[in-house]
Chain A
Amino acid sequence: MAALLEVADVTVRFGGLTAVDAVSLQVGAGEVCALIGPNGAGKTTLFNAVSGNVAVTDGRVTFRGEAIHRLTPHEIAAKGVRRTFQNGGLFGQLTALENVLVGLHTRVDSRLLGLLAGRKAARQAEQAATRQARELLDIFEIGHVADTPAADLSGGQQRMVEIVRALATEPPLLLLDEPAVGLAPHMRAQLGAVIRRLAAERGIGILLIEHAIELVMSVSDRVVVLNYGKKVADAPPDVVRADRNVLEAYLGHA
């Protein structure tokens, strides 16, 4: 069976700079794949290439066997590739509930004319979405902040709302860009448990960029290491930990 996400020889160049250099990787359903490497290694650029936020210079990205590297970000998202953002991508003026509702956007079956005419079907579609968003917040134990504007939430709560929002449509593939940044140690452990549960219980494939190395080692099935835009390792966590190339990438030439 083909992998859920297949990145094949992807190169991204900005002018003369090659940010990602012929990188290949695969993420299967229910698999947690971590993407690590020093700053500037090309991790976020590769992420952006998958989600359609930067143009792929060369190579292919396929999702469920379908090429997606020429699609726009909203088309890729609608196909079921959802992501979070490194610097927090919440809609600050909207409440936690409304943020999750935006996550559900493609699933709310209300038409403009139906809404304007006050049609029952349109109203009910909106109401059903609201109930679903509240349930999701409850499941992830942040239901009590549903009506708080996202900008007023704590850092940990914001991370959770962003993950719940990305998960709302039950996407087959989730891209998490440094979800643990700024989280207290106990929140990190909680986040790790959530990531494991999503992969194991719901079969979601997860591609994870993370600097918190203990989190990476505890949740990942596989770790891909990038250095200067090139893939230098792709193996289970305990193998990567002992890899000479990886040590060099992080510590310089030994």
Chain B
Amino acid sequence: MPRLRVTRRLFWLVPLALLPLPLYLDQYRQYVVNLMLMYVPVGIGFNVVVGNLGLLAFSNVAFFGIGAYTSGVLALKLGVPWWLTILPAGLMGALAGCAAGIPALRGVRLFYLAIMTLAFGELLRWVYIRWVPVTGGSFGMSVPPPSVFGWTLETEGHKFYVFLVLVVLMVVLTDRVLRSRFGRAFMAIKDNELAAAAMGIPTDRYILLAFAWGGFVVGIGGSMYAALVGHVTPIAFDLTELILEFAVIMVGGLGSLLGSVIGAAVITAAPEFFREWLGFQELLFGLLIIAVILFLPRGLASLLARLHPVFVDRYYRD
């Protein structure tokens, strides 16, 4: 289908169109846009595990926190420039992903897996609080201003460009994984684990791989958090944060890469729009989530998929 091939390439126009954005935004609005960008990898990684692999694993804040702390500790304690901490943050996230995936290899599923992975996240929070010499305990740590190739990112606009590159990279790489036999294996395990094994798929290895990839991408989101907020504390990775991240993928669309991007944008932007109705912000935010889940159970991405086939998630290459 050559026509479709051309239209998929049009997605590249989105980051290009965003390039002049810092010229028009003040520092606060730019910060909110950067926050949206940060939630894209956080949503993508969560969605690979919950939406594509189909396991009820709520360890996403653990990967997010590990990424943020890895970047923070390397930058603050060892003086490593921020850009060199991005990959280690991703790798630590992947490692945490593998650890969180182990119960699933023992056949733990559904609510049992949900509670075990929740406990994993809380366990890490206990480590952040108790391991004071490294993490700074409950008060957390201040991270030095992020730098890239010796340049310090002084304004929100500077961070924006670096974040945009990272986000495009994570979307492209995850798209490559999903639109291959690896992504198909994740989906097969989600729909019918027995049948997946009957196709010659070593399901255990693919479960670990999905957790590792999810952890990697979310870990990079954590590194972006350290650069964006400049302060890493245990409270940032609590259950409220987890619910927010869950809302990103539910509103965007479970199992949809495009959905993770849309969900990150909508969930981050919505509270800013609701700021005009002071006192009703949380109520409106809650209503928005309920409305989307009620009327679009497959998320906002499913709305786009109805408009044009180019927005339909696919797991092969033509």
Contact = CB atoms under 8 A, between A and B. Distances in A.
A90 B195 contact: yes
A189 interface: no
A53 B194 CA distance: 8
Interface stretch (B29-37, B182-190, B286-294): B182-190
Nearest to A104: B181
Contacts of B76: none
Given A92-B191, A97-B316, A126-B179, A102 B201 contact: yes
Interface residues of B, number: 31
A115 B185 contact: no
B196 interface: yes
Contacts of A83: 198
Nearest to B312: A147
Contact of A130 (B194, B198, B255, B316): B316
Given A94-B184, A97-B316, A98-B315, A116 B200 contact: no
A85 B315 CA distance: 23
Nearest to B195: A89
B114 interface: no
Interface stretch (A33-41, A106-114, A242-250): A106-114
The interface centre, meaning the residue of B190, B196, B199 with most chain A CB atoms within 10 A of its CB, is B199
A69 interface: no
B150 to A, nearest CB: 27
B184 A115 contact: no
A199 interface: no
Contacts of A110: 180-181
B196 A102 contact: yes
Nearest to A98: B315
Contacts of B187: 91, 93-94, 98, 102
B188 A91 contact: yes
A91 B191 contact: yes
A90 B188 CA distance: 9
Nearest to B189: A91
A82 B196 CA distance: 11
Contacts of A211: none
A108 B173 CA distance: 19
A143 B198 CA distance: 23
A118 interface: yes
A233 B315 CA distance: 46
Given A51-B198, A98-B316, A106-B200, A93 B176 contact: no
Contacts, number: 111
Sorting the interface of chain A by its residue count into under 10, 10 to 19, 20 to 34 or 35 or more gives 35 or more
B243 interface: no
B41 to A, nearest CB: 15
B148 to A, nearest CB: 22
Contact of A90 (B182, B184, B192, B314): B192
Contacts of A91: 187-188, 190-192, 195-196
Given A91-B192, A110-B180, A77 B199 contact: yes
A237 interface: no
B103 interface: no
B9 interface: no
Nearest to A53: B194
Given A90-B192, A92-B191, A98-B315, A73 B198 contact: yes
The interface centre, meaning the residue of B179, B185, B198, B202 with most chain A CB atoms within 10 A of its CB, is B198
Interface string A201-221: 000000000000000000000
B318 A130 contact: yes
B192 A77 contact: no
A115 B174 CA distance: 10
A73 B200 CA distance: 7
Contacts of B318: 127, 130
Given A77-B199, A89-B198, A90-B195, 18 more contacts: A74-B197, A74-B199, A77-B198, A89-B194, A91-B195, A91-B196, A94-B188, A94-B191, A101-B184, A102-B184, A102-B185, A102-B201, A103-B199, A115-B180, A122-B180, A126-B316, A126-B317, A130-B317
9 smallest CB-CB distances across A and B, nearest first, come from A89-B195, A91-B191, A77-B200, A106-B200, A78-B200, A73-B197, A126-B317, A108-B181, A74-B197
11 contacts: A77-B197, A77-B198, A85-B198, A91-B191, A94-B184, A94-B187, A101-B184, A105-B199, A126-B180, A126-B316, A129-B181
